Chain A
Amino acid sequence: SQTIHQWPATLVQPVGSPLSLECTVEGTSNPNLYWYRQAAGRGLQLLFYSVGIGQISSEVPQNLSASRPQDRQFILSSKKLLLSDSGFYLCAWSRQGARTNEQFFGPGTRLTVL
Chain B
Amino acid sequence: AQSVTQPDIHITVSEGASLELRCNYSYGATPYLFWYVQSPGQGLQLLLKYFSGDTLVQGIKGFEAEFKRSQSSFNLRKPSVHWSDAAEYFCVINTGGFKTIFGAGTRLFVKA
Known: A99-B96, A102-B49. A107 touches B42 (CB 8 A): yes
Q: Are A43 and B98 in contact (CB under 8 A)?
A: no
* CA distance in complex: A6, B51 (Å): 29
CB neighbours of A100 from chain B (8 A): 32, 49, 51, 94, 96
Interfacial residues of chain B within 38-70, with CB under 8 A of chain A in the complex: 41-46, 49, 51
Contact A103 B100 (CB under 8 A): yes
- Counted as pairs of residues, one from A and one from B, with CB atoms less than 8 Å apart, the total is 53
Chain B, residue nearest A46 (CB): B100
Bound-state CA distance A50–B34 (Å) is 21
Complex contacts, B102 vs chain A, CB 8 Å: 43-44
Q: Please tell me if B90 contacts chain A, counting CB pairs below 8 Å.
A: yes
Asked whether, in the complex, the Cβ of B96 is within 8 Å of the Cβ of A101, the reply is: yes
Query: Chain B interface (Cβ within 8 Å of chain A)?
Result: 32, 34, 36, 41-46, 49, 51, 90, 94, 96-100, 102-105
